Amino acid sequence: MKKKGFDVLVYLCLAIVFVAECSAYIVDPGPVVIATSGEIWPKPKKQQTEETFSTFTPTNFHFKATEKTCDILDLAFERYTQILVQILNNGRRNRRSQPRRRSKVRLDPLFSGNLVEFNVKLTTECEDKPYQGMDESYVLTVTNGSASLDAKSVWGVLRGLESFSQLTVYSGEGTSLRVNHTVINDEPRFSWRGLLVDTSRHFINVDVLLKILDGMAYNKLNVFHWHIVDDHSFPYESRRFPELSAQGAFTRRMVYSVNDIENVIEYARIRGIRVLAEFDTPGHTRSWGVSHPELLTECEGQYKGKLGPMNPINEEVYVFLQELFKEVTELFPDKYIHLGGDEVGFECWQSNSNITEYMKQNDIRNYEKLEEIFIQRIIDNVDQLGANSIVWQEVYVNRVSLPQKTAVHIWTGDRFRLLYSVTKDGHPALLSSCWYLDHLSTGGDWRKYYTCDPHDFSGNAEQKDLVLGGEACMWAEVVDNGNILQRIFPRVSAAAEKLWSQQSVKDIEDAARRLEEHYCRLNVRGIPAQPPNGPGFCA
């Protein structure tokens, strides 16, 4: 009897534990983040919104340039007209499953007339291509049946049109859209708001790159950092050295032709996005050596038979790079070029007898100095071509003597200390270390990116002015055409808001609601963004 009673007690306890465990799922299944409606991402600098609203029908509504105009403006009007149509079609499609209701919009006391025209006042001539430090400010006004946008540059117009499209929602009936009366004075906090995409570890098709550019425009990002080649493949098709991609790409089909690159640059240009090319040297160059092994260092000793970084004492290397970079700077119009310089292992240089003898003869006492000689010559070549250089932080950490205008790109380690040190030495700085999109913890891990700010270091105002901004990075070890868009969006949106919005924008729960809407918005526009917050749905 005692044993039986004991067993009953055990079963009873287990049952209580089971019920307690299950009740956690039955009673508290987890929060559902309720999306906002008509909120803007990234959050504007100043915004006043009223409850009164106007409506309009995309087919009876048009954008009009009241002063200056150009191809960028005309194409933007076409794009955003189509986006408004997408908003309408999506709203009507979702409304079909709902019961029909009598039209109430016009009877609403907050209704204030129909919009027919959106006046865009550009006060200066259109600039031809985006550039570092361009003016992206705008003033957007929607009130009493009228809408207008004022900007000093075409780039500000593009950002203002994006904000207007995000203010606009489906009215809930018929063929009309609704927009609350709003006044926005907006400008970005940082002028460099980028996304790095690696196309060497997995080849990313051009049509996917164009989708990425669309998503960047919807987040007001303005620098597409194209990490186009690396150890694994060389997909850049050089006119001067076609053998680099012919032998160094994964396959002959996985190559970016000059026409492909020009199409990407043009697609980005009309969206106000710069295309920054990176050709990483002297390390990360194994794919270069497939066609040109003479450029790389022949390892000796225990590394015999392997090729290391580019050979810094081989004059042919500098002649080759000068010709290649001349071609690159002619093809890519941006004034900056990224020269890499990260993760240069010195083991192969140390093993090479020619290099060690050269160092003795020239009184070069360490390999950091040898790296400095290499980097300095490359930067000098690029400077002669009229371009500004960017290097990864290792070049700076290894105490390479850099020209003052050379920007240092921080990607790992103590970002607070590095930002302070780099700017203390007078160099422009870019931050990426807290925005590595390949570091996936959960689907909704955007919050860890949202807590990072490029000015969270102890430097003075002059130092902080040297922080150009930053870039989120999508390294491609485990992404390809099938999942790269989902990994980028909307997680990159967190970095986009930290780079555009004011430093005081920190409310993460408010951000969660706005990002829930933004993720739905991206999907309506053809960007297959993943859910940011867990359980929920797009209305």
**Alpha-carbon distance 454 to 416, whole Å?**
9
Question: Going by C-beta distance under 8 Å and a sequence separation of 6 or more, which residues neighbour residue 123?
Answer: 67, 68, 150, 151, 152
The helix or strand, by DSSP H or E, that contains position 6, with its residue range, turns out to be helix 2-27
Other C-beta atoms within 10 Å of 157: how many? 28
Q: Which of 132, 79, 133, 130 is nearest to 269 (CA)?
A: 130
**Of 67, 262, 343, 462, which is the active-site residue?**
343
Q: Which of 227, 206, 192 is nearest to 475 (CA)?
A: 227
Residue 240 exposure: Cα atoms within 13 Å on the Cβ side: 12
**Alpha-carbon distance 331 to 345, whole Å?**
31
Q: Which of 495, 525, 473 is nearest to 41 (CA)?
A: 495
Question: Going by C-beta distance under 8 Å and a sequence separation of 6 or more, which residues neighbour residue 483?
Answer: none
State residue 79 phi and psi, 5-degree precision: -60, -45
Known active-site residue 343: yes
CA-based R_g, the chain, Å: 27
**Alpha-carbon distance 503 to 450, whole Å?**
11
β-bridge mates for residue 193, sequence order = 470
3-state helix, strand, coil in the chain (%, to 5): 40, 20, 40
**Alpha-carbon distance 125 to 140, whole Å?**
19
Task: Name the packing angle between helices 206-218 and 154-167 (round to 10°).
Answer: 80
Burial degree of 131 (CB within 10 A; 0-12, 13-18, 19+): middle
Instruction: Please check whether residue 427 is in contact with residue 402, taking contact to mean a CB–CB distance below 8 angstroms.
Output: yes
Using the structure block, give the residue that is written with the tokens 């070549």: 381
Question: Is 60 strand, coil or helix?
Answer: helix
Whole-angstrom CA distances from 394 to 228, 336, 371, 399, 431 are 20, 19, 10, 8, 14
State residue 147 phi and psi, 5-degree precision: -140, 140
**Alpha-carbon distance 410 to 396, whole Å?**
10
**Alpha-carbon distance 285 to 378, whole Å?**
15
One-letter amino acid at 461 equals A
Residue numbers annotated as active site: 343
